[in-house]
Chain A
Amino acid sequence: MPAALAAALHAQSGAARWGLELAQFTECLRASAARQFGECGPGAGEIERYLKGLRLEDLALAAACAAGLAEAWEYFVAHYREALYAAARAIVGAPRDEERARELADSLYADLYGVAGATGARGKPLLAYFHGRSKLSTWLRAVLSQRYVDLLRAGRREVALDEGDDDSEGARSGARIAVAALRQPGETRDPDRERYIGLLRAALLDALASVSDEDRSRLRAYYVDARTLAEIAKRRGEHEATASRHLERCRRELRGRVERRLLEGDAPQDGRAARPGLSAAQVELCFEYAVEDWPFDLKSALGRDGGEEPGVT
């Protein structure tokens, strides 16, 4: 990147106001261009046009906040925090559920700063993932929106799978629990527990990979999009009983494959050692731990492991 261009954009962005050095800002510009163009290797002109079209002021502010510069954070809190709460309220539907809206906004706010886990140590700030292609305010709302939708969908799946549940606040409590789970310190876990759940999950992913497109579509419609059997049947032009039978068959076959995989173990592959099969009792344990351990699933669903970009899993 030409030094003159970086300097000009640095000046235009007002980064100096936050104490963001030219080198730091240049790195942000590079990251943004890399995100946009990947390995394409566009011409210098195209990169320049792209960079000049960025929201430079917002990018500088986000970068300064990600770098932990105090003035930038003060400005961010003063100008964006209330807007974040307002957006959360609008999304959640407060004043009916002011508490949930505030929890949602607070959980995002913590991630923006980069607080992670029980220790409270600073992880990678979410603001580091802002690359200036949109307004910062819109990006914040987009993160909030995706996060809330994922929470709801996870909470809804949680309720939908509990047949006969008369809890009229099922979905909302599910989401509430989910939000609370994000904020509570993690428990100390039995290492075998993690391993068994990991094996179960890997076996499930492997089994899913072999599912036909039609069955995958059926399963997604039911478990991800939460369609009723009647809607799935109508969409596929079949009877509801037929849809129900197919779904049950898919589920049964998948569980069978998962259990077989756990029992048989894994052959050596791609440099990985073979994994011996589990005993029937250990397979039972896998499922037992899965019964108890749904917050683990939720965190994975939200893609908050390993500093992943918001909205990407």
Chain B
Amino acid sequence: MAAGDRESDSEKRKEKAFERMLADALSADARKDCPDAEILAAFYEHSLASADVEHWRAHFAGCSRCQQALVALAASDPNPMAEEEVARLGELVAAAAAPARVAPRPRISRWAWFFDPRSLAPLAAAVIFGVAIWVAVRSPNVAPVENFAIAPTTSEALTAENKVAPAAPSVMAQLSPSPSEPPAMQVPVHRTAREMPAVAPATPPPPPAAMAGNAGSAPAAQSSDRTEQSAEQAATAAPAPASPPEQQENSGAAASSAESGGGATPSSNGGVVGGVEPLNGRVETLTVTRSVRAKSQVAGFVAANSDSQIGWSFGGGGRIARSSDGGRTWVQQKSPVQTELLAGSAPSETVCWLVGRGGAIVRTTDGVKWELVASPEQAEQDGRAPDWTFVEARDALYAVIRTENGRRFFTSDGGKTWQPQ
């Protein structure tokens, strides 16, 4: 090799070494603002304080490293998925699979801006949408009065924890409340990302006086902040539907959008939501609605699914009402409890679980008759049943409930027995 060639090669190697160090230095510089693993895990589990959630959500919106870590975290989630979902994932993985090689100048697919599907496990890409939606609907530091209605996309398969099946390889998208969102009972599925306006996160207003009695613990205080934050967001949303007497003032709605350039932007309820680009090229999005408690006694309502006209509202004094016409009219139903009901989950048009204060757990399996479900004794503290502030049900038998301070229990036999989770 000629001396000139050797010198040229030497210079090339030095240039590459310099670029390598430059990349490492830039990467280290970018990482210094990233959260440690515990914060990442707590964010994923929705156990961060609401102020922290907002802070980290803003960070995740612009950090591809953290977005990728969240993808990997979701991919490694061991929660079981329905068989149909597993089969469907097989197709999705095949469709999403890309060469393992990363080209010298990596060419990232136009719809995978913030992570390289060829680097991350194809399974991670395939499951992210469903798991991300599952995460999105779970309430961090659950407010005592929140409940969510999930509008699935093309797949109706539900997992053990109400995960929604991904319809296609997922992208990270921004979940943003839409001012023009119709009422919670009518949950549309937006067909194009461009229909989804971006809304800046609302600043949490001061908690209302009505919630002061609940502010006995940090989670409760955070819950009231979140509730009021939701109320503020909801105030900019469309008016509430025709609703039962004492219905809430308004409903908040959040919608996801997806196209290129998404990135894993956490949802307004603390989860991570992915938009979907199905193989037919049409972008489907999910809409997650959240109803908030304002001044009325009714805590909220829950719909069976986006296309269903069936839903239930619930609230103070154990009140339960059912609508079969999309919320235009309501029929009061006989409730087995008189304590305030705070959260609900309706896996179908005939099955609904509601939970509330003083250990209240009620369930209907025919959409009409409500029965009392025994609260887990292990949850009692000082001989007092806890306030259940969250429920997710897969069907009439399987449900997960959670107290205000994060203690979780699950049943797989319709509430006959409960296990701590």
- Given the contacts A153-B65, A157-B20, A162 and B41 also touching, CB distance less than 8 Å: no
A to B contact number (C-beta, < 8 Å): 241
| A-contact bits for B34-55, CB 8 A (1 contact / 0 none) | 1111111110110110000000
B28, B32, B104: which contacts A162 (Cβ < 8 A)?
Answer: B104
A290 vs B28: C-alpha distance when bound (angstroms): 17
User: In the bound complex, do residue A135 and residue B124 qualify as a contact, i.e. CB atoms below 8 Å apart?
Assistant: no
A129 interface residue, CB < 8 Å from B? yes
Contact of B122 among A93, A158, A160, A294 (CB under 8 A): A93
Cα–Cα distance between A272 and B345 once the two chains are bound (Å): 64
Minimal Cβ-Cβ distance residue in B for A36: B49
Interface, chain A (partner B; CB < 8 A): 46, 49-50, 52-53, 83, 86-88, 90-93, 96, 129-131, 133-135, 137-139, 141-146, 148-150, 152-165, 167-172, 200-201, 204-205, 208, 216, 219-220, 223-229, 231, 235, 251, 254-255, 258, 284, 287-288, 290-291, 294, 297-298, 300-301, 303, 309-313
Q: Is the CB of B21 within 8 A of A171?
A: no
The reply to whether A87 and B76 contact each other, CB–CB distance below 8 Å, is yes
In the bound complex, residues from chain A placing their C-beta under 8 Å from that of B70 are 145
Known contacts A142-B69, A297-B20; A170 and B101 CB within 8 A of each other: yes
A284 to B261, CA, bound (A): 41
| Interface: B113 (CB within 8 A) | yes
Give the residues from 110 to 160 in chain B that come closer than 8 angstroms, CB to CB, to chain A: 113-114, 116, 118-124
B124 close to A90 (CB less than 8 A): yes
- Name the one of B21, B37, B106, B261 contacting A204, with C-beta atoms under 8 angstroms: B21
A166 to chain B minimum Cβ distance, whole angstroms, is 9
Most chain A CB within 10 A, of B36, B42, B47, B218, is at: B36
Q: Tell me if B82 is interfacial: C-beta within 8 Å of chain A.
A: no
Q: Complex: how many Å from CA A220 to CA B64? A: 11
Q: How far is the CA of A219 from the CA of B21 in the complex (A)?
A: 12
Flag if A160 contacts B38 (CB, 8 Å): no
Contact of A145 with B101 in the complex, beta carbons under 8 Å: no
Taking the nearest CB of chain A, how far is it from the CB of B33, in angstroms? Answer: 10
CB of B102 closer than 8 Å to a CB of A: yes
Residues of B within 8 A of A (CB): 13-32, 34-42, 44-45, 47-48, 64-65, 68-73, 75-78, 99-108, 113-114, 116, 118-124, 217-219, 261, 405-406
Q: Is the CB of A139 within 8 A of B102?
A: no
**CB of A137, distance to nearest CB on chain B (Å):** 8
Knowing A87-B76, A143-B37 are in contact, say whether A160-B22 is a contact too (CB < 8 A).
no
- Complex contact B26–A224 (CB within 8 A): yes
Interface of A is mostly: helix
C-alpha spacing A291/B34, complex, angstroms: 29
Q: Let me know if B118 and A171 touch, CB within 8 A.
A: yes
* C-alpha gap A146/B39 in the complex (Å): 12
Q: A171-B100, A290-B17 are in contact. Are A135 and B45 (CB under 8 A)?
A: yes
Is A146 a contact partner of B69 (Cβ separation < 8 A)?
yes
B218/A46 in contact, CB under 8 A: yes
> Are A204 and B121 CB-contacts (below 8 A) given A135-B45, A143-B37, A291-B14?
no
Residues of B within 8 A of A91 (CB): 72, 75-76, 121, 124
Say how far A119's CB is from chain B's closest CB, in angstroms. 26
Knowing A53-B219, A161-B23 are in contact, say whether A287-B101 is a contact too (CB < 8 A): no
Are B120 and A152 in contact (CB-based, < 8 A)?
A: yes
Interface contact A141-B41, CB-CB below 8 Å:
yes
A235 CB contacts on chain B under 8 angstroms: 261
Taking a contact as CB atoms under 8 Å apart, the answer to whether B45 and A219 are in contact is no
Contacts of A50 in B (CB 8 A): 218
Establish whether residues B36 and A310, one from each chain, have CB atoms under 8 Å apart when the complex forms: yes
B27 touches A171 (CB 8 A): no
- Between A and B, 9 residue pairs with Cβ closer than 8 Å are A91-B124, A138-B44, A145-B72, A154-B27, A156-B106, A159-B102, A164-B104, A227-B108, A312-B34
Question: Bound complex: CA of A144 vs CA of B121, how far in Å?
Answer: 14
Taking a contact as CB atoms under 8 Å apart, the answer to whether A141 and B76 are in contact is yes
Bound complex: CA A86 to CA B45 (Å): 19
Are B76 and A145 in contact, CB atoms less than 8 angstroms apart? yes
Task: Please state if B122 and A157 are interface contacts (CB–CB under 8 Å).
Answer: no
Identity of the chain B residue whose Cβ is nearest the Cβ of A101 in the assembled complex: B121
Q: A158-B20, A287-B14 known; A311 and B36 CB under 8 Å? A: yes
Query: Is B17 a contact partner of A287 (Cβ separation < 8 A)?
Result: yes
Q: Which residue of B lies closest to A165 (CB)?
A: B104
A273 shortest CB reach to chain B, Å: 24
| B76-A144 in contact (CB<8A) | yes
Taking the closest CB of chain B, its distance from the CB of A40, in whole angstroms, is 12
| A150: chain B residues within 8 A (beta carbon) | 27, 31, 65
Would you call A90 and B37 a contact (CB within 8 A)?
A: no
B217–A49 contact, CB under 8 A?
Answer: yes
